[in-house]
Chain A
Amino acid sequence: MKFKVFRWKAIGPLLLVFGILCLLLWLFAEPVARDTTEEASSELLGTEVDLGKLDLLPRQASVNLRALQVADPFMLTRNLIEADEIRLKLNPAALAEKKIVIEHLSLHGMRFGTRRKTPARPPSGKGFAPQVYRAVQQWANQFNVPLLSLTPIDTIRQLVLDPTQLSTIRQAQSLLARTDSTRKALEQGFQQLDIRPTLDSAHALAQRLAATDPKKLGLDGTRQAIQSVQQTLREVEAAKKRVAALQQNTRTAVQVLGQGIKTVDQARQQDFAFAKSLLKLPTFSAPEIGNAFFGKVSIERFKQALYWAELAQKYMPPGLLPRPTPGPRRLRAAGSTIEFPKARDLPRFLLEQGQLDFSIGGTSELRGAYAATVQGLTSTPALYGHPAVITAHRRATGSAIASIDVAAVINHIGALTHDSANARLRGIQLPSFDLPGVPFRVAPGIGSSELAFNLKGTQLFARWGIRSNQVSWLADTTGRSLNDLERLVWRVMSGLNDLNVVAEVRGTVSSPKLSVSSNLDQAISQRLQAVIGEEVAKAERMVRSKVDSLVADKVEPVKRQVAALQAEANQRIEAEKQRVDQVEKELNAELKRLTGGLAPGIELPKIKL
């Protein structure tokens, strides 16, 4: 019987199955795609993304998104962006390679900062974006923004300090332990050096040769003597190298101890600050007042910019190396999905050109001509070869909001990534905020705001400023009346109509430095200094003497021990070096004498030592 490989009669049912699959796809593709888009973009951005409707238009290779809302992860009752309609024109050839290349994106009915009907879900879970969210929260918490203390000076009575609270003592004890271990290590090093036998035998050889006459040694005897000297010189050279190595080790150890002394001094400064904080002394330092008043509100702005920059670092990594990402969620294990970017090919995701261009007329505050563009937003910047550029601006002379200018460049083409963003908003209603630590609130009114953010590798520079000449001040006196210092500050504040605040963050992302200055802190500082400067200075002197009295007997002996160890180590090394040099000199002198004793005019071949 002939065996049939194919079951031709099954082609019909198979086609029927495929037909049913296609029907199901047609029926459920849009709702499934909508849910998947919501879920994936919420996970990507770390904030709730809601989508009203998703229409697939296969003939035009387009997707229409309607009623899109992207919640602000830092304010859950507000939307970052809301758009009535977004049309994405996709590249069909790229789709065949499972790549999403958006040739053109257009938005209609876009609004920023709208209020949400229901608050968004807070970022949570183990995804990358929630991790970044938590990381930037921690980043913001690392700034030590002191509260402004306006305790009247006459309430300061006595400072009670517990020595265990002082870090200087801990640092001094730690340095003492390090000094002891360094001393032992150096002693061991000197013992292991063991150059005395070499130097003694070299010295003995030099003395023995000095007592002989080269002319009486004969040719063989002279040659043997020269060879002995050369051999000994080589041994001396080796000893010299060991001394040099020990000197290097000693120098490093001494430097480390020197750093320890500096750390102890820095700890003492911190202890002064700590002790001062216990007294709650009113400060009249302008930078401190600036930090206290506007530090927190500034950090909030920088934190948000850093969040988006960190997401860009993750989703737009430089280079073309294969990249593992978590696999899709399913009942089976997700595993890892590895992307293999190919040179001169399309990236996995690319938004070539996005455009927003519309006008709002009438008498609304929002009237004006809006324009925004997004270019080259891609998952593989090295393939696209150009930085991603995002711009947005609005012009409306005569409107309450005069202008908005936003420009951002995400350059992840090379190994050193560079993200920068500049936003300028003029003639906008600036939000009012409380001044931390004092019962005052500032309402800047209509003014301008500016944010510059620059992240090059790990180097961060960010600047945020607000300026207004319609500022109003509010004092919250419910519950208690203002004390003398608060009344003084209030008088200074309420006399000001202008507010000009500039905050800057510099340094690496891991250890940034914040500085804030404003016209307010300058004015308050001058006034406070005039009134309480002398009293505060006296209290500060008291704090210093108190801290010094507690730490001096712990720190000074340690410093003396470190200095003694440093001096002793240097002295011993120098002594060893001198001995080696002396013996080497003696041997060289004998070598010269021996070679000079040969027949005149005959030169010995040069010998490498």
Chain B
Amino acid sequence: MLGLLKLIQSIIKTLHSAGTPGQVAAGMALGSALGLTPIMNLHNLVIFSLLVLLNVSFGGGMLGWMLFVPIGFLLDPVFDSIGLHLLQAPSLRPLWTSWTNTPILPYTNFNNTVVLGSFVGWVVLAVPIFFAARYGVARYRATLGERVRQSRFYKAVTASQVYNIYRLFRP
């Protein structure tokens, strides 16, 4: 229940934050990597760092993460298949051999079919996610945004202490 509330809070805050639709969309595109790929991998540490360091919406990133976790679970068989295909491609074997025998890189676990497949899936989907999110956020702000901003529900959410911490990271 708490998770659901936080999700709603995150969505509301992000959609109404000062960030441009492009910043929110970029955050969502980056955050979707955390949801689409298995979380406990080195590349997700890099994604998280980018989310914090780049001038994109951090809330958008968290929103992207939460939205794409169930999609990641659903697409696992597809990712497994993509990863297996790539890892078994004879032309790519020298690349994987070199990669898995280079310091640090093996900790990315890219020799796992689901990790590689989901990462490649995210790379392919990142651009469509960005454009779709940017369009969606812009449309929302132009249509429903102001009415929601005036609602008591929005005011209650933004009045919470958590929101103050969030403001520190907003773009």
A residues at B contact (CB < 8 Å): 3-7, 10-11, 13-14, 17, 93, 96-99, 322, 327-328, 330-342, 345
Complex: how many Å from CA A11 to CA B80? 35
Given contacts A322-B93, A330-B38, contact A338 B52 (CB under 8 A): no
B101: shortest Cβ distance to chain A, in Å? 4
Q: Which residues of B contact A13 (CB under 8 A)?
A: 52, 168-169
Given contacts A4-B55, A11-B53, contact A338 B96 (CB under 8 A): yes
B54: shortest Cβ distance to chain A, in Å? 6
List 15 A-B pairs, Cβ < 8 Å: A5-B54, A10-B52, A17-B52, A96-B103, A322-B96, A328-B112, A330-B40, A332-B73, A335-B83, A337-B111, A338-B111, A340-B93, A340-B101, A340-B111, A342-B100
Q: Which residues of B contact A11 (CB under 8 A)?
A: 53
Q: Which residues of A contact B97 (CB under 8 A)?
A: 340-342
Closest to A99 in B: B106
Complex: how many Å from CA A332 to CA B71? 11
How many chain B residues sit at the interface, stated as a range, is 35 or more
Interface contact B54-A7, CB-CB below 8 Å? yes
Instruction: Summarize A's interface: helix, strand, loop or mixed.
Output: loop
The verdict on B115 contacting chain A, using a C-beta distance below 8 Å, is yes
A-B pairs, top 8 by smallest CB distance, nearest first, are A335-B114, A98-B106, A333-B76, A96-B103, A335-B113, A340-B97, A342-B101, A332-B38
Complex: how many Å from CA A331 to CA B99? 26
Complex: how many Å from CA A25 to CA B101? 25
Complex: how many Å from CA A409 to CA B83? 37
Q: Which residues of B contact A337 (CB under 8 A)?
A: 109, 111-113
Complex: how many Å from CA A335 to CA B102? 22
Q: A7-B52, A334-B114, A340-B100 are in contact. List 5 more A-B contacts (CB 8 A).
A: A7-B53, A7-B55, A98-B106, A335-B117, A338-B88
Q: Which residues of A contact B99 (CB under 8 A)?
A: 340
B83: shortest Cβ distance to chain A, in Å? 6
Interface contact B53-A332, CB-CB below 8 Å? no
Q: Which residues of A contact B168 (CB under 8 A)?
A: 13
Interface contact A14-B114, CB-CB below 8 Å? no
Complex: how many Å from CA A322 to CA B99? 13
Q: Which residues of B contact A322 (CB under 8 A)?
A: 87-88, 93, 96
Closest to A345 in B: B101
The verdict on B151 contacting chain A, using a C-beta distance below 8 Å, is no
The verdict on B161 contacting chain A, using a C-beta distance below 8 Å, is no
Return the CB mask of B155-166 against A: 1 if under 8 Å, else 0: 000000000000
Complex: how many Å from CA A17 to CA B117? 28
Interface contact B111-A6, CB-CB below 8 Å? no
Interface centre among A11, A327, A328 (most CB of B within 10 A): A327
Interface contact A335-B80, CB-CB below 8 Å? yes
Interface contact A98-B112, CB-CB below 8 Å? no
Given contacts A98-B106, A342-B97, A342-B98, contact A336 B55 (CB under 8 A): no
Complex: how many Å from CA A333 to CA B54? 31
Interface contact A3-B114, CB-CB below 8 Å? no
The verdict on B104 contacting chain A, using a C-beta distance below 8 Å, is yes
Complex: how many Å from CA A414 to CA B10? 59
Q: Which residues of B contact A331 (CB under 8 A)?
A: 73
Complex: how many Å from CA A336 to CA B76? 12
Complex: how many Å from CA A336 to CA B110? 11
Closest to A320 in B: B97
Given contacts A327-B114, A333-B80, contact A339 B53 (CB under 8 A): no
The verdict on B72 contacting chain A, using a C-beta distance below 8 Å, is yes
Closest to A334 in B: B114
Interface contact A339-B38, CB-CB below 8 Å? no
B130: shortest Cβ distance to chain A, in Å? 16
Closest to B72 in A: A332
Identify A14's interface contact among B53, B72, B87, B106, CB under 8 A.
Answer: B53
Interface contact A332-B76, CB-CB below 8 Å? yes
Interface contact A336-B101, CB-CB below 8 Å? no
Complex: how many Å from CA A331 to CA B73? 9
Interface contact A14-B103, CB-CB below 8 Å? no
Complex: how many Å from CA A4 to CA B96? 37
Q: Which residues of A contact B109 (CB under 8 A)?
A: 337
Q: Which residues of B contact A338 (CB under 8 A)?
A: 87-88, 96, 111-113
Identify B55's interface contact among A6, A330, A332, A345, CB under 8 A.
Answer: A6
The verdict on B77 contacting chain A, using a C-beta distance below 8 Å, is yes
Given contacts A96-B104, A97-B101, A339-B100, contact A333 B53 (CB under 8 A): no
Q: Which residues of A contact B106 (CB under 8 A)?
A: 97-99
Complex: how many Å from CA A322 to CA B90? 10
Complex: how many Å from CA A239 to CA B65? 77
Closest to B102 in A: A97
Interface contact B103-A10, CB-CB below 8 Å? no
Complex: how many Å from CA A301 to CA B119? 49
Interface centre among A96, A327, A335, A339 (most CB of B within 10 A): A335
The verdict on B91 contacting chain A, using a C-beta distance below 8 Å, is no
B79: shortest Cβ distance to chain A, in Å? 8
Interface contact B38-A336, CB-CB below 8 Å? no
Complex: how many Å from CA A447 to CA B55? 80
Q: Which residues of B contact A98 (CB under 8 A)?
A: 100, 106-107
